[in-house]
Homo-oligomer: A and B are copies of this chain.
């Protein structure tokens, strides 16, 4: 629970958002100030809580501040497919279209309302933030295609490796991990539903990666021992981030 406590340590709850947006486009000081101001309307959600239901119209836009969530779809027989994970710094509910998937908290989750930011962008008052949101959208689409390739064409071993690398990269951008280490507060069941595998096989595959000396998992923290080897295994390409390119 990051709070006023760590403010004087230079850590603010909205930092992941700022880091994320800055990785997508150049922001002016006033852009950053605006994001800092979002600290007001906060919401807390328990694990399992649904933020958005499938088919919901455009809801309030929000940013995840802490905790993890996901987009998913459920089948009537209980099978679940997770489309993407929402990490601190990620936006939800932007875009004025009915949601095609539900959004569910996977851990205790904290969000802030981003209506102010969205209004500012719509008013045309911040080209920087506008570009950042557009880039975030593009990035999300790219991740979904990566995910489809993972599900359709990668083996379990490759899938897990690929997924770990994606998480590392995203969390590092959010300031929540380094090139080798990051928090991973997911059960193996959640991993299974994201990767299109069974729980048991996720477990097997993680063991395999461990035994190969490629990763390490301990109490909610993942360590990539050999990021380059992992990347070779699954043909992971670090996405080109273009913070300086105008539209």
Contacts and interface: CB of A to CB of B under 8 A. Distances in A.
Query: Size class of A's contact patch?
Result: 20 to 34
Interface in A211-245: 235
A155 B100 CA distance: 22
B196 A152 contact: yes
Contact of A81 (B97, B138, B152, B247): B152
Interface in A141-174: 141-142, 144-145, 147-149, 151-153
Nearest to A146: B73
Contacts of A151: 148, 151-152, 196
B83 A153 contact: no
B148 A144 contact: yes
A141 B97 CA distance: 11
**How many chain copies does the complex carry?**
2
Contacts of A98: 138
A147 B148 contact: yes
A101 interface: yes
A12 interface: no
A148 B151 CA distance: 7
8 contacts: A76-B235, A81-B149, A83-B148, A100-B138, A100-B142, A148-B151, A152-B196, A153-B196
